[in-house]
Structure 1
Amino acid sequence: MATKGDLTKARLAESMLELIQTNGYSGTGLSAVIAHASAPKGSVYFHFPDGKEGLGLAAVELAARRFETLIAEAALEAGTPAGSIRAAIAALSAIVGDSGFQLGCPVSVVTLEMGAESERLREACATAFESWISPTAAFLESNGLAAGEARELATVVVATIEGAVIVSRALRSTQPLANAADVLAELVDQRCGTAGAAR
């Protein structure tokens, strides 16, 4: 059973995540997070003694878990590597489009803004990306690719999706994500098909 304090801490992390997505990390102040979360003024430093950086870490970790869940659900529902990629990108495309192109990937935002300034935030972002690359690589490996090739392709998949989200937001169009889905699905089909034929 979550305590009142646990719920407040979770609300603060959720608010930080949402505000990073819309305003960026640098544009998100603690007072805005407190107001957005409807939290007591002293709650930030009580739950996050290191202030904004600690809240940023919590937001990145929350985003990592959510996208990791999205990947797992896409793999489970679609069954095939190409189908899973299409399902994951479709889910992301809906998030980006339905938000009026205000929401994107908070991990990429924090990486770009703070990667050179905060080693803790850079490491958290690296861990987040790894949490998406590793299960994707494992899924590809289970579909016939050698470990090294699966890791390489999984990295390309995640990097391409991240870039497509950014371009979609800039162009205010989900077409870049749709294009990424088509190209990645074809690439994955080709690689996994070749691996299957070689077995």
Structure 2
Amino acid sequence: MAIKGNLTKARLTESMLQLIQTSGYSGTGLNAVIEHAGAPKGSVYFHFPDGKEGLGVAAVELAAKQFEALIAEAAVSAGSAAEAARTAIEVLAAIVSESNFRLGCPVSVVTLEMGAESERLRKACAAAFESWIAPTSALLEAGGLDAGEARSLATVVVSTIEGAVIVSRAMQSTQPLFSAADVVAALINQRCNTVGGTR
């Protein structure tokens, strides 16, 4: 029974995440989530006693894990921090394009819609962004930057990617993402090479 319950909870969370991406947080009702997940009607409040807000937090946390895994995979396959950033952005560009520009970053959606309305959701979004900035910062440190500069540049990289996803969806073009990939990779190479050249 516990396994079945966990599967239902996971389905509800995944459905909430997908619907936030296409319809926004405010535009996603619990009935739509239940229908999308093919879950029993009482299952939302059983697994998420605090309702939509709790489900929204779970969806943001799932999105954080998915992108964190993408960063980790890119880091393993790439030969440098710049290549890892480019690879991650190219994967995102493919996801956005293949969805016909309907899918974006659910964390930015929830931040923009609910950041001023729900402190719990705002904190979940902040934690999600931190979970992407921290490993990016670690990659940059491995590339030769000191902790402070790596953290600052990682924040810029994640912020640039977030903005590029939004602009790509608005323009229905992956060009903003590929332009971001070029600029981010050049910036990382410049900073890491500068530091390497001074040692």
Category of TM-score, reference length = shorter chain: over 0.9
The residue number in structure 2 matching 1:77 is 77
Instruction: Supply the AA of the counterpart residue of 1:54.
Output: G
Measure the CA separation in 1 of the matches of 2:74 and 2:38: 34
The residue number in structure 2 matching 1:45 is 45
In the superposition, the TM-score normalised over structure 2's length comes to 0.99
Identical counterparts, % of pairs: 75
Deviation (angstroms), 1:197: 1.1
* Superposition map of 1:141-180 within 5 A: 141-180=141-180
Runs of 4+ that moved beyond 3 A: none
Q: Deviations over 1:122-164 (max 9, x none)?
A: 0000000000000100110011001100000000000000000
The residue number in structure 1 matching 2:12 is 12
Aligned pairs, number: 199
The residue number in structure 2 matching 1:110 is 110
Deviation (angstroms), 1:63: 0.1
Measure the CA separation in 1 of the matches of 2:17 and 2:166: 17
User: Quick check: 1:99 aligned with 2:65?
Assistant: no
Measure the CA separation in 1 of the matches of 2:128 and 2:92: 16
Deviation (angstroms), 1:2: 6.7
Structure 1 unaligned blocks of 5 or more: none
- Could you say what secondary structure the match of 2:19 adopts? helix
* Superposition map of 1:122-133 within 5 A: 122-133=122-133
Instruction: Supply the AA of the counterpart residue of 1:140.
Output: L
Instruction: Supply the AA of the counterpart residue of 1:20.
Output: I
What value does the CA root-mean-square deviation take over the aligned residues? 1.0
The residue number in structure 2 matching 1:194 is 194
With over 3 angstroms needed to count, the CA separation of the structure-2 counterparts of 1:176 and 1:2, relative to structure 1, is farther
Deviation (angstroms), 1:79: 2.1
Measure the CA separation in 1 of the matches of 2:52 and 2:92: 27
Measure the CA separation in 2 of the matches of 1:186 and 1:29: 42
Q: Deviations over 1:144-191 (max 9, x none)?
A: 001100000000000000000000000000000000000010000000
Measure the CA separation in 1 of the matches of 2:81 and 2:42: 47
